[in-house]
Structure 1
């Protein structure tokens, strides 16, 4: 019995050692990557190239557009939120040159009825009923809306100047439309920040998106914009030059720009703008009240929904993106695409790290019970551990600060405590993404695994952020 116990202890110790090397090495690579991004952002701040300008929201709100703006909103089973989205957008965007195209499916009468209520008879809204049963894919619905826009252009003899993308649950900003209109004159693709709204009833799952987007759209996108590399479209709060979309469609031998075989057609569209020589811009501006001019929304509050959403992002961006977009561009572009595609590997490394933590606690308990330690860490391994621990502390500090800047110090502290929650969701999403990807390799078509929404920030005090 003693020999068996000693042998089991040796195997556990060997597993601990191997996990420590594997996780420690890849955590080191990740830390170097993040520190490089931090250094680039600090350099931009030091040189004054990462400043966030402040504009009068009221002045922008009252301005007219320089051309027709077509806003495409795909909607499948969004009866609980589409009415709020439309009524709010129509209230804060008074411009006559606005056209909102809402795509609903013929087998979804609840969303159709809710969209009609939200439109309130406003002639700037076009409700387009898809001629097929839903759900198809988000790209398919967007293409149907794009064709409806083209039909309106032919009928009215006037072409849209820009095409704006939004989701059915978004709360738009009153200044966003005019800002996009101004920026699209010098860029072919413009992305505004996205700010998830924290929810008291969803402090752990639904609110963990807050710190992720605060850091991504407060630092990473700023650095990408300064480097002049391609910018990924978030699918909301983004505008494309109308004719650039037609160029992308022609290049792909399609009659519409959105690729129906992609799970993240919005991300790919942003990358493809740069591929055809278009200019992309990330526009980060604050109103005079200090609030960021951004798209706001509630994100999934249930674990299964959050995992499904992030798995679709990983599948489309990391796995499909590797196959579909390759590694074109220079060193800066390669760096950003590597960052975009590290999600599944990060999930594996995180799983190894948490497994190591559980195993280390088990072995510590056995050592406390009097069993001998089969191995001792070397000085190099201890240095690796120390660096990774210091890196984790730095990452928590950065996450706190970026979250605090948008949501206040209380949410900043919550962001730090939510780090394990975010990691567990990433691990589960990585497994789901890899499983889904293997099914597509066997010929299975992608499906629109959308997230259900039942709450809208325009119904709450969050409305103050957009007025």
Structure 2
């Protein structure tokens, strides 16, 4: 009797929860659909990521490559050997940021003898933040400029696990003049041992760098940097440094790369994402991404803290309508991750409700939880989901082939679970940092390098 009395409460609660989740999901789906439609109507060159190169370059620019490396002894040696072997540029210097309490990392870098390579041991023990390490490299570069009497033209960022394309400096040289930033695509490497967790990064980057960021730059919004495979104009970085006490990278930020792209845009600098193909493959930065659930959650929670939570506090809502729309798209990520998982749970509960109505006459006499406008809204969300999954498959197929494209659909569910767990972890961690009055430290994941083949 008590169960029968609770049935109306159950049905009303389920219907209200469904309506709220469906409304939020529909708004988010339409937001994504607008970006998809904009990408489709863009000029072909913009849609393909082919901005015009600079035609007035009269000399080859001088490059500095910054590689922050805390506790990277397992990968930094192999990464640098491959990088040095593939570099074909007359004037480039590689600065590797190390820490005094990382003797294994120092030994791995010092074992390589190359005049283009300069280890830089920071003044503080690690971990600090990645930005703090990059600032140490900036100071080392300034000292070299003073000693050589020649300024660097552009600064390239890479991580210790990156597989650097041999042609990237040629692409940067062709596009950096007159621009604040040039970003190359990021290609997550397939991992046979983790096709779902590590593999879901392939789908996300395929869409982000193949569509979303291209729409941003076509609309004139600030282009966030990926932090790897990106070249910054040295003059523009100097302007940022002059405003920040000679530190272009904000040591209090966990996503200094994202923030730097936005700050350069606020200063009037323009960034571009360039897709250039050589031998049927894009000139891009490849790397392994986390292969287990816990590592993926840690990495994505760091991104969410820096972009969605701290980014909101630190950057505010600057710029015009388009810029604010893109900031909103960045900052809705934690909410949508949680709403998506809630929608999974509600879908199961709706199935349970249907089963109850079939087996229990008392339940069958009550109105269905999903009917009328709510039912239509659920169908709209279903169509938007199908569209989103098909688009995901297409972008993954373009870069990684049909096998990975077939895995893109189940990986979407895995990615949603990772994103939801990361959102919870990010909120907890950021709240703890605010209460303690400190900046979260460099909570990096363990990195892998694919080898020296």
Give the TM-score taking structure 1 as reference length.
0.92
Q: Deviations over 1:280-331 (max 9, x none)?
A: 11111111x2211110000000111100110111111011111111111111
Higher mean displacement: 204-213 or 371-380 = 371-380
Determine the structure 2 residue equivalent to 1:231.
Answer: 223
Determine the structure 1 residue equivalent to 2:271.
Answer: 280
How far, CA to CA, are the matches of 2:65 and 2:58 in structure 1? 16
Q: 1:115 aligns with which of 109, 117, 120?
A: 109
The CA deviation at 1:180 is 0.8
* Alignment length (residue pairs): 445
- The 5 Å alignment of 1:11-26 reads 11-26=9-24
The CA deviation at 1:48 is 4.7
Q: Deviations over 1:168-199 (max 9, x none)?
A: 10001111112112211121111111110111
Unaligned runs of 5+ in 2: none
Determine the structure 2 residue equivalent to 1:438.
Answer: 431
- The 5 Å alignment of 1:121-136 reads 121-136=113-128
How far, CA to CA, are the matches of 1:234 and 1:81 in structure 2? 20
The CA deviation at 1:251 is 2.0
- The 5 Å alignment of 1:61-80 reads 66-80=60-74
Task: Work out whether residues 190 and 282 of structure 1, in 8 Å CA contact, stay in contact via their aligned partners in 2.
Answer: yes
The CA deviation at 1:458 is 4.1
Determine the structure 1 residue equivalent to 2:48.
Answer: 51
Give the TM-score taking structure 2 as reference length.
0.95
- The 5 Å alignment of 1:264-413 reads 264-287=255-278, 289-371=279-361, 372-373=363-364, 374-376=366-368, 377-413=370-406
How far, CA to CA, are the matches of 2:182 and 2:213 in structure 1? 12
Q: Report SS of the residue matched to 1:128.
A: strand
Query: Cα 1:134–1:65, aligned 2, differ >3 Å: closer, same or farther?
Result: farther
Query: Cα 1:52–1:144, aligned 2, differ >3 Å: closer, same or farther?
Result: closer
- The 5 Å alignment of 1:86-97 reads 86-97=80-91
Q: Is 1:103–2:94 an aligned residue pair?
A: no
Query: Cα 1:396–1:271, aligned 2, differ >3 Å: closer, same or farther?
Result: same
Task: Work out whether residues 52 and 286 of structure 1, in 8 Å CA contact, stay in contact via their aligned partners in 2.
Answer: no
Task: Work out whether residues 96 and 124 of structure 1, in 8 Å CA contact, stay in contact via their aligned partners in 2.
Answer: no
The CA deviation at 1:129 is 1.1
Determine the structure 2 residue equivalent to 1:167.
Answer: 159
Determine the structure 2 residue equivalent to 1:422.
Answer: 415
Q: Report SS of the residue matched to 1:418.
A: helix
How far, CA to CA, are the matches of 1:401 and 1:144 in structure 2? 42
The CA deviation at 1:54 is 12
Q: Deviations over 1:322-364 (max 9, x none)?
A: 1111111111111111111111111221132122023223323
How far, CA to CA, are the matches of 2:301 and 2:120 in structure 1? 29
How far, CA to CA, are the matches of 2:452 and 2:7 in structure 1? 58
Alignment RMSD: 1.8
How far, CA to CA, are the matches of 1:53 and 1:357 in structure 2? 42
Task: Work out whether residues 229 and 332 of structure 1, in 8 Å CA contact, stay in contact via their aligned partners in 2.
Answer: yes
Task: Work out whether residues 139 and 259 of structure 1, in 8 Å CA contact, stay in contact via their aligned partners in 2.
Answer: yes
Task: Work out whether residues 64 and 178 of structure 1, in 8 Å CA contact, stay in contact via their aligned partners in 2.
Answer: no
Provide runs of 4+ in structure 1 moved above 6 Å: none
- The 5 Å alignment of 1:446-465 reads 446-453=440-447, 455-459=448-452
Task: Work out whether residues 171 and 458 of structure 1, in 8 Å CA contact, stay in contact via their aligned partners in 2.
Answer: no
The CA deviation at 1:164 is 0.7
Q: Is 1:152–2:144 an aligned residue pair?
A: yes
Query: Cα 1:173–1:79, aligned 2, differ >3 Å: closer, same or farther?
Result: same
Determine the structure 2 residue equivalent to 1:82.
Answer: 76
Determine the structure 2 residue equivalent to 1:463.
Answer: none
Higher mean displacement: 239-248 or 350-359 = 350-359
How far, CA to CA, are the matches of 1:399 and 1:347 in structure 2? 17
How far, CA to CA, are the matches of 1:456 and 1:147 in structure 2? 28
